[in-house]
Structures are given as C-alpha cells and as structure tokens.
Amino acid sequence: MLRLTELRLPLGHPPEALRAATLARLGLDEAALLGLTVFRRGHDARKPRAIMWVYTLDLTLADEAAVLARHAGDANLRPAPDTAYKFVAHAPEDTPRPIVIGTGPCGFMAALILAQMGFRPLILERGTAVRQRTQDTWGLWRRGVLAPESNVQFGEGGAGTFSDGKLYSQIKDPRHYGRKLLEEFVKAGAPEEILYVSRPHIGTFRLVTMVESIRAEIERLGGEYRFGCKVTDLLLDERRAVRGVLLESGEAIAARQVVLAIGHSARDSFAMLRDRGVFMEAKPFSIGVRIEHPQGMIDRARWGPNAGNPLLGAADYKLVHHCVGPGPGNGRSVYSFCMCPGGTVVAAASEPGGVVTNGMSQYSRAERNANAGIVVGISPADYPGDVLAGMDYQRRWESAAFIAGGGAYRAPGQLVGDFLAGRPSTELGAVLPSYQPGVTPTDLALCLPGFAVAAMREALVAFDRQIPGFARPDAVMTGVETRTSSPIRIRRGLDFQSLNTPGLFPAGEGAGYAGGILSAGVDGIRVAEALALLATGQPVPASMSRGVEGSATTYG
C-alpha cells in the first residue's frame, strides 16, 4: 500500500473526482488503481475565496513498485506505514488484577487495553456513572447546586465528557496509539469520520453513549467498574512498593500495580500523594478567562465568502501572542485554549465556593456563540511554596471569582471594551453570555493576577489584527479559567512507574503527561502496555519509553 499526500481538490467536488484526480496525479489508467482509502482530509483556508480540500490517501495498486520507481523524486508518495495495533503481552492465568483509578480518557483507555490483554482490571471511580453524572452536572448549571463528587471534573468520562470532544493534539505518536484510540471510539459509536478528518470532534452527547459502550466492552472482557469509590490512601510495603489502596469507606483492596489516572482536579488525591512521599514537582499551567463572540463573525473571518458552507461547518481558531511590551505582562505568552465553535461556556467547579469555567460544544456546533479560553502561561516562580502551591494558587482565584460573581456559582463577566479600558462592566451588550447559572457584570481584574490582566490586554489587541472583531467592545469575557492542566507532575521513570513508588503508574493529565482527550488516551495506552510488560517479566523497550517526560501542555 502507498500513501499519497497533498492531493488538492475544490470544495464541493463530486465523489468521483477523488479517484480521477488520483489517477491523473500518478499517470495511471483505471485498472491500475485497485483501492483508495481516505486517511486524512483537511482544508487549506489561506485563501478564503478558494478554500481547498487537502487529502492524504492510502492506495492499493496493481504494481506498487513500478509506480514508486516512476515517482522516485516525489516526496508526497511513500509506502504507507503499518498502523495496525499489536498487543505487547497477554496476561497469564491467575495474574492478580491491576487497579485503574479514574475513568477519564486515560483511565478507560488503560483499562480497555489491559482488558483486551486479559488482565481483568478493577476500575475505581470516585464519581458516578456518566448518566447520573450528567444529571448532577445539569443541577449545577440549572439550579446552582454543586455535587462535589459528580460534576464536570469528577465522574465517568472525565473532564473531556463536557467539552467539544476534540480528538486532535500535537503529541508525537510514532507507534500510532492515536489510531488505536480512534478505532476504539468508532467501535463504541463515534462517527467514522473521526478516522480521517484533520480536526475530529465528537461532542458531549455522543461522548456519553460512547463512554458507556467502552465500559460495557471492558466488563465483557472481565474488567470490573466500581463507582462512588474514592481512594484515600496507598498501601505500601517497607520498600515503598504498592500493595494496594484504601477507600474512603475503609475497605482495603490488594493490588501490586495501580494506574493513577485521577485527572487534573483531584486536589485531595494530590495532597494524599504528597503526604505519602510520592515524588512530585510543581509545573507550569495557565490561567485566564473564556471569551465569546458570535460564531458568524468567526466564520466570516476564517472562511470569507464561504462562511456558512455546510461542508466547512463552524470555524475555529488558534491564537498565540508573546508579550514584548513594558509592564507586568512583559515576556508572558497568551494563547487560545480549548476553542469551542458553536458552543457554550460551562460551570466546571468541583469544590464549594469557587467558580471555574470551561467550554463545551455538541457535535452539531450549532449554538450562536464561539468561545475559547484566553489564558496566560504561569510558572512555579509565580506561586512559590511547596509542591502543591499551584493548586492553592488556583483556589485563590476561583474563590475570588465566586465572590465577584455574587455567589450561587454565578460567574464574573466583563465586556472586552471595558476590560481594555480598565473599567468595570455594569451591563452586557449584544453578545449574550452562555454560562449558566448566570453572569454578573463586574471587573475581572478582581479575580485574575495583575500580570495576566496586563498580558491579556496586549494580546486582545494583537488577536484583533488576526481576526477582525476579536476585540469588539461587546464581546464578553467570563472568569475564571484555571483548570487548563495539572499544577503538578508526578515524576515517572523510563518504565512508567513512579520514581520512588514501584507499582504506581502515574498517567494522563493529572500526572502531568497529557493535555486533552487524545493525548490522555494515548498515555493510558502507553502506561497499560508498560504495566503488562512488567507484569509478564518483560522489559519496557526504549522505543516505548522515549518521551515519557514529554509536554503536559494543553491544546485546543
């Protein structure tokens, strides 16, 4: 099989044009092309009046060697890589079952891979099953009632369940784990297009049913789920090796391998790990707000005369600005985070007395507003203290946002024009905020660090040059966005185990090794493989462990 890249066709081309263009591109007759599969489809919108589809195709040819020889100098034609997933081990009979803590993308992918290899994992989740969790989350959004163990952060599916369901990332993936994840998502009910569109997404409603289907498959393979089971301690032997976990109920469960996929908001778990002496370190994260614009404005800025074309759907954006001017924002990076086309801003608190915002879209992306986090990078130098100082720093601004919003989990909001002018907002404009339980016009400087305010003011003006209208006076900003990534990293070695706690496998966003659904799920696969190899007496190969200290930057 050969892979052909950079094949371009106009929007609205008929289906048969793809095969015809491939034959013309390679100078083949009809009989020479035995099969054609779209591996990736993106678009080139650099010229909005002439937007083009850009295809990557996998081709089966009658004589592949001859075609390769004839196009030897063509960088866009190469043998297709083997992306088929291959299991690294199989559990021997009577192997003690490992524990997976957490049922977000990292946890359920680790559990699925372990189950497929015969390890029958026990999956512990502090929150509720996804249907009950959805009801509890709507309780916060509609009535201002927070369920501390069942919300946007905690429960089956993880924080990504209430998001845009974006399935793209900037991680390096030489072993094609991302393809395995997407294939499993399609088996679980995700649309097949996620296998080939360049920026796939699912949307919240489809994620709910998909997560349930993955749970059913894990259980069919011998895994066991237990909801409402908060792990409050690790059981260690005299060598600090894991021997099990202790639940809040007082129940002790024995296990020699524990996958720790607890997510970026499990603050009580972080404190327990610190007290247990598990090696952790503070790491950078970001803080900011959600900004909303009319989706039509973004469509026109990105698609030009093609705005509204159903083939393109709702437009997104990705913006970055490095502050260079004098003042407290100097040297800071400001970027858009988790952009949600045609979506809503949602309440994402997990602790009483704090306001946290996030973004969410359904598969249709049909809501009136576009929203994105506009966040500022911060480092441990901004919050000196112990390893959990970043967590306390997040709490400080979430509490300030709760007060500025007037309580009852209403969020503080400000018009962009007022924010740039440094004056409080007293009313809202034409862009109506989507956040529920509601938005209180105020001054966002009350609940953000001064350097973040200064950096965001500079960045908004720069972003307006890239997307005309981005700094329109009536665009609305809602605070605060603090859960962009974990404030800590639980260090692990080349075998994916904790540096000083054998048998503990830190994984995913909470451990500081992922950012988003795709990268978290991929990390879950890698950790499951490492656990399986070690459990069957095999070494973890260098090719698998390369990059385990990789970026925990979040993308969106």
- CA nearest neighbour of 509 among 108, 159, 202, 161: 159
Q: CA angle at residue 170 from 168 to 175, to 5 degrees?
A: 85
State residue 266's pLDDT score. Answer: 96
Give 269-309 pLDDT, tens digit per residue: 999 999 999 999 999 999 999 999 999 999 999 999 999 99
492 HSE (CA, 13 A, CB side) = 31
What is the DSSP code (8-state) at residue 548? T
State the average pLDDT over residues 450-470: 96
CA distances from residue 423 to 236, 330, 415, 419, 461 in whole angstroms, order as listed: 55, 22, 10, 6, 17
65 HSE (CA, 13 A, CB side) = 0
Domain limits, the chain: 2-79, 103-281+487-545, 285-481
Whole-angstrom distance, CA of residue 265 vs CA of residue 270: 9
554 versus 466: which is more confidently predicted?
A: 466
State residue 98's pLDDT score. Answer: 98
Confidence of residue 555 (pLDDT cuts 50, 70, 90): very low
Q: Which CATH number fits domain 103-281+487-545: 3.30.420.40, 3.30.160.100, 3.40.50.720, 3.50.50.60?
A: 3.50.50.60
Task: Answer yes or no: are the C-beta atoms of 148 and 125 closer than 8 Å.
Answer: no
State residue 553's pLDDT score. Answer: 32
State the average pLDDT over residues 416-439: 96
Give 469-487 pLDDT, tens digit per residue: 999 999 999 999 999 999 9
Q: At what angle do helices 204-220 and 130-143 cross, to 10 degrees?
A: 150
Residue 213 has pLDDT above 70, yes or no: yes
State the average pLDDT over residues 151-167: 86
Task: Answer yes or no: are the C-beta atoms of 399 and 311 closer than 8 Å.
Answer: no
State residue 136's pLDDT score. Answer: 94
Confidence of residue 551 (pLDDT cuts 50, 70, 90): very low
Question: Cβ of 70: how many Cβ atoms within 10 Å?
Answer: 14
Residue 535 has pLDDT above 90, yes or no: yes
Identify the weakest region by mean pLDDT among 5-14, 34-43, 321-330, 376-385. Answer: 321-330
* Chain CA centroid to CA 252, Å: 32
What is the percentage of the chain residues whose pLDDT exceeds 70?
A: 97
State residue 225's pLDDT score. Answer: 98
Strands (E), 32-98: 33-44, 52-61, 77-79
β partners of residue 433: none
State the average pLDDT over residues 8-22: 95
Q: Which CATH number fits domain 2-79: 3.40.50.300, 3.90.380.10, 3.30.70.2700, 1.10.486.10?
A: 3.30.70.2700
Whole-angstrom distance, CA of residue 260 vs CA of residue 237: 18
C-alpha radius of gyration, the chain, whole number = 24
Confidence of residue 170 (pLDDT cuts 50, 70, 90): low
State residue 331's pLDDT score. Answer: 86
- 265: which 2 tokens? 């908001």
Task: Answer yes or no: are the C-beta atoms of 39 and 57 closer than 8 Å.
Answer: yes
2-79 and 103-281+487-545 in the same fold: no
Question: Among 163-172, 401-410, 536-545, which range has the highest average pLDDT?
Answer: 401-410
Residue 546 has pLDDT above 70, yes or no: no
Phi then psi dihedrals of residue 324, to 5 deg: -125, -10
State residue 193's pLDDT score. Answer: 92
Confidence of residue 328 (pLDDT cuts 50, 70, 90): confident
Give 87-107 pLDDT, tens digit per residue: 999 999 889 999 999 999 999
Confidence of residue 362 (pLDDT cuts 50, 70, 90): confident
State residue 161's pLDDT score. Answer: 84
Strands (E), 320-368: 320-322, 333-340, 344-347, 357-360
* Chain CA centroid to CA 16, Å: 36
State residue 550's pLDDT score. Answer: 38
Confidence of residue 403 (pLDDT cuts 50, 70, 90): very high
Residue 556 has pLDDT above 50, yes or no: no
Rounded to two decimals, the pTM is 0.93
State the average pLDDT over residues 123-128: 97
State the average pLDDT over residues 525-554: 77
Give 482-527 pLDDT, tens digit per residue: 999 999 999 999 999 999 999 999 999 999 999 889 999 999 999 9
Whole-angstrom distance, CA of residue 76 vs CA of residue 85: 25
- 505: which 2 tokens? 């496998």
What is the DSSP code (8-state) at residue 45? -
Whole-angstrom distance, CA of residue 75 vs CA of residue 64: 16
3-state secondary structure of 340: strand
- CA nearest neighbour of 368 among 287, 290, 292, 286: 292
